[in-house]
Structure 1
Amino acid sequence: MEMFEWYMIRATGLAASLLLYLSVIIGLYSQVQKKRKQKVTISLFLHESLANWALYLVIGHVGFLLIDSYISLQWFEVLIPFNTDYKPLPMALGALSFYFLIMTIVTSKVRKKIGYQKWRKLHALNPILYIFVTIHGLLIGTDIQGAVLAAVNILPVILIGGMMLKDKPKLDVTH
């Protein structure tokens, strides 16, 4: 049964990472659309839905780690950062990513209660989540080559940066 667990650990982690990636891209795109004074209802719904599904898959990822008999991790090794001998840094980044994702989703659900400004400050921490997930995948994953993962992560930054620069107001230097 070890192979099933191994595949499920990889599949849930990779799928969660992909959904988080898509959620980030759509979230950034909706910000560009907002600046252009366009409706963002559908893109924000998709952004939040993808993040929710990423969380469900991360919970599955953690569950499969806990039942895997090959590595035999205890709950505290998976959920408490730096509390394992098995690849401590990538495992810690995975645990911290899990907590960042929970914080992001919970604060998004209660943003009206905590206030928009506080929510924006907390949501601004999400690049840390994304960086942690990416490093976690690079250091512990065996499914994607580093160059591919780097290219996949650099491309959206270039595209979104280009969209934002295109929208910048032009300075009138004739006066």
Structure 2
Amino acid sequence: MSEALWALGRGAGTVTLVLMTISVLLGVLTRSGRPALGLPRFAVARVHRDAGLLVVAMLTIHVVSLFLDPYAQLHLVDVVVPFLARYSPFWQGLGTVGLDLLLAVVVTSLLRRRIGLRTWRGVHWATYALWPVAVAHGLGNGTDAFTTWFLAVTGICVLSVVAALTWRVQTGFVEHRRHRVEPLAPRVPERAR
């Protein structure tokens, strides 16, 4: 049974990284104010949110299966407090930091109407820190970290997010249509009419 738990934990961790990458990509696309992938903005936002919910589900499977696996030897404190684990405290601690950040995003998303948009958005921006922390955790703590398939998956995830963020920070990028500057027609003074 423990081998099944170990495999489930590793697989769920990899799927979590892929889903987290999709969520980050869709979050960047949603903020662009433009339709993406042939979908209107609200549909992209919905898929972004649903991908985020799947991240929570897969991360739960990842943590619980490794917690129950006697080989992984996780303790409750390892899941809650970063950098205290017996095995690989730094890399496992990054996973705990990622879990804590994700919990903050989930809780504030559930309380969004009560805490206000500004507070929610501030915490939600933590996902830009969460994603690289998760990548580093997978590379540093994952038993498959240096296999060809995992490096390929991680490389695709990293290149995708870097490309999206590069597109997002371009000087010509304007988030909302109402802020875009349209070329002005020559203005004719009132007296000349």
TM range (shorter): 0.7 to 0.9
Q: In the alignment, which residue of structure 2 is the partner of 1:127?
A: 128
Unaligned runs of 5+ in 1: none
How is 1:29-68 mapped onto 2 (pairs within 5 angstroms)?
29-33=29-33, 39-68=40-69
Judged with a 3 Å threshold, the aligned counterparts in structure 2 of structure 1 residues 119 and 111 are, in CA distance, closer, same or farther, namely same
Post-superposition shift, 1:30? Answer: 0.7
CA deviations on 1:33-68 (whole Å, 9 max, x unpaired) are: 3599x9521111111111111111111111111111
- From the two aligned structures, give the one with the greater helix fraction: 1
Q: In the alignment, which residue of structure 1 is the partner of 2:24?
A: 24
Post-superposition shift, 1:117? Answer: 1.3
Counting aligned pairs with the same residue, the percent is 23
Q: In the alignment, which residue of structure 2 is the partner of 1:157?
A: 162
Of stretches 160-169 and 11-20 in structure 1, the one that deviates more from structure 2 is 160-169
- SS of equivalent residue, structure 2 residue 144: coil
Q: Aligned partners of 1:82, 1:163: CA distance in 2, in Å?
A: 33
Unaligned runs of 5+ in 2: 175-179, 184-193
Judged with a 3 Å threshold, the aligned counterparts in structure 2 of structure 1 residues 57 and 152 are, in CA distance, closer, same or farther, namely closer
Larger Rg: 2
Q: In the alignment, which residue of structure 2 is the partner of 1:104?
A: 105
The total of aligned residue pairs comes to 171
Judged with a 3 Å threshold, the aligned counterparts in structure 2 of structure 1 residues 159 and 24 are, in CA distance, closer, same or farther, namely closer
Post-superposition shift, 1:171? Answer: 11
Post-superposition shift, 1:163? Answer: 5.8
- SS of equivalent residue, structure 1 residue 85: coil
Higher RCO, 1 vs 2 (CA within 8 Å, ≥6 residues apart): 2
Letter in 2 for 1:31: R
Post-superposition shift, 1:81? Answer: 1.1
Task: Give the TM-score normalised by the residue count of structure 2.
Answer: 0.77
Q: In the alignment, which residue of structure 2 is the partner of 1:6?
A: 6
Task: Give the TM-score normalised by the residue count of structure 1.
Answer: 0.84
Q: Aligned partners of 2:123, 2:48: CA distance in 1, in Å?
A: 16
Letter in 1 for 2:15: A
- SS of equivalent residue, structure 1 residue 157: helix
Q: In the alignment, which residue of structure 2 is the partner of 1:78?
A: 79
Q: Aligned partners of 2:16, 2:137: CA distance in 1, in Å?
A: 12
1:139 aligns with 2:155: no
Q: CA RMSD in A?
A: 2.6
Letter in 1 for 2:120: W
